[in-house]
Amino acid sequence: MSEQQLIEKAKQGDRSAFAQLVNTYSERIYNLALRILRNREDAEDVLQETFLSVVKNLENFDGRSSFFTWIYRIATNASLMKLRKKKIMFTELPENQESHESIENKVFIDWSNDPSLTVQNKEVMELLEKALGELSEIYRSVFILRDVEQLSIKETSKILNITEENVKIRLRRARQFLRDKLDEYYSEKVSHHDYA
Amino acid sequence: MTTPDHHEIIKQICDYMGEDLDGEACKEVQEHLALCPACRVYFDEVKKTVTLVRRVEQPGEKMPDDVKERLFKVLDLDELMNR
Ligand SMILES: [Zn+2]
């Protein structure tokens, strides 16, 4: 049975069709929420909220966007809402990022090919994990959808209900922020060991 | 020899970085990256950072069975859960 048929049946109250949709999407939704929220309990809450909202609103789903986009939008919004409620202080990123205007005057440590820079490097992974947690929700959500979930710019803009231009701007800042964190780490390392 | 307008190029690289890092880039930026070590390094580092985060976050976790059970229960679908 196609997804569209499943959705039609679920709309008419077919519980087994709905259960199939839940089976198809629950793990992806759980992981999406986990990536945005970085906390398992919160991710489970969002997972439940998302599907309860699907039950409630399925009859209004008109198929103009794909079911995937629709459910992702619900889950992303629920995650962001939760993040906002926690009132965590995030690192503010400057509105007008001119940070690498100074690029030409800087001495660069090129760490992009450092062989120790792998997912096995616990120190670096913890640093990135922490940096992701510091990114405020508007940047984090774009980064997770686009760079981790690897959705297109168009899909990301639909899910977050922002323009494609905005997706690009936020994505760029998020990427630069994370890169800068790694760069700080390397700069410290270099100054510590006193070699350059 | 004309020096390319570095600031303009950097801005383009920034725009470029909002896009798919492996996607089609404008020719001028590609050329600049080939010629300008500073921009090239910066770009490579951003790319490496994204790759690392992606590797760490993908494929994600298997949803724990108890999480799934509670979800199906909340939805009143217990008897329809695929185990
Ligand atoms: Zn340059």
| pLDDT score, position A11 | 94
User: DSSP labels for B12-70?
Assistant: HHHHHHHS-TTS---HHHHHHHHH-HHHHHHHHHHHHHHHHHHHHHSS-PPPPHHHHHH
* B31 located within any domain: yes
Among residues A139, A97, A117, A93, the alpha carbon closest in space to that of A183 is found at A117
* B30 located within any domain: yes
Per-residue pLDDT of chain A (196 residues; tens, 9 = 90+): 899 999 999 999 999 999 999 999 999 999 999 999 999 999 999 999 999 999 999 999 988 889 999 999 999 999 999 998 886 666 666 555 444 445 555 556 889 999 988 988 999 999 999 999 999 999 999 999 999 999 999 999 999 999 999 999 899 899 989 999 999 998 888 776 655 4
B15–A35: do the CB atoms touch at under 8 Å?
A: no
Per-residue model confidence as pLDDT tens digits over B43-69: 889 889 999 999 888 888 899 999 999
Q: What Rg do the C-alpha atoms of chain B give, in angstroms?
A: 23
Please name the member of A48, A101, A150 whose beta carbon is closest to the beta carbon of B71: A48
CATH topology for the A3-86 domain: Rna Polymerase Sigma Factor; Chain: A (1.10.1740)
Contacts of A44 in chain B (CB under 8 A): 67, 70-71
pLDDT at B5 over 70: no
* B53 located within any domain: yes
Between the CA of B29 and the centroid of ligand 1 the distance, in Å, is 9
Domain that holds residue B76: 6-80
| pLDDT score, position A63 | 87
* B1 located within any domain: no
The pTM of the full predicted model, rounded to 2 decimals, is 0.85
Collapse the DSSP code of A91 into the 3-class scheme (helix H, G, I; strand E, B; otherwise coil) and give the result: strand
Comparison of pLDDT for B17 and A31, the residue scoring more: A31
Comparison of pLDDT for A158 and B28, the residue scoring more: A158
What b/e readout covers A127-164, taking b as 16+ CB neighbours within 10 angstroms?
bbeebbebbbbbbbbbbbbbbbbebebebbbbbbebee
pLDDT at B73 over 90: yes
Give the C-alpha distances (Å, rounded to integers) separating A141 from A2, A27, A36, A37, B46. 30, 18, 6, 10, 18
A3–chain B nearest CA distance, Å: 17
Domain tally for chain B? 1
Instruction: Quote the tokens at residue B27.
Output: 């020719």
- Domain map (residue ranges) of chain A: 3-86, 97-195
Contacts of B53 in chain A (CB under 8 A): 128, 132, 143, 147-148, 178
| pLDDT score, position A16 | 96
pLDDT at B7 over 70: no
A171–B75: do the CB atoms touch at under 8 Å?
A: no
Helix A40-57 to helix A15-37 angle (10° resolution) is 140
Q: Measure the CA–CA gap between B33 and B43, rounded to whole angstroms.
A: 8
Comparison of pLDDT for B3 and B10, the residue scoring more: B10
B48–chain A nearest CA distance, Å: 6
Q: Tokens 């231009």, residue?
A: A165
Among residues A133, A134, A129, A158, the alpha carbon closest in space to that of A146 is found at A158
pLDDT at B9 over 80: no
| pLDDT score, position B43 | 86
Are domains A3-86 and A97-195 of this chain identical in fold? no
Assess if CATH 3.20.20.150 describes domain A97-195: no
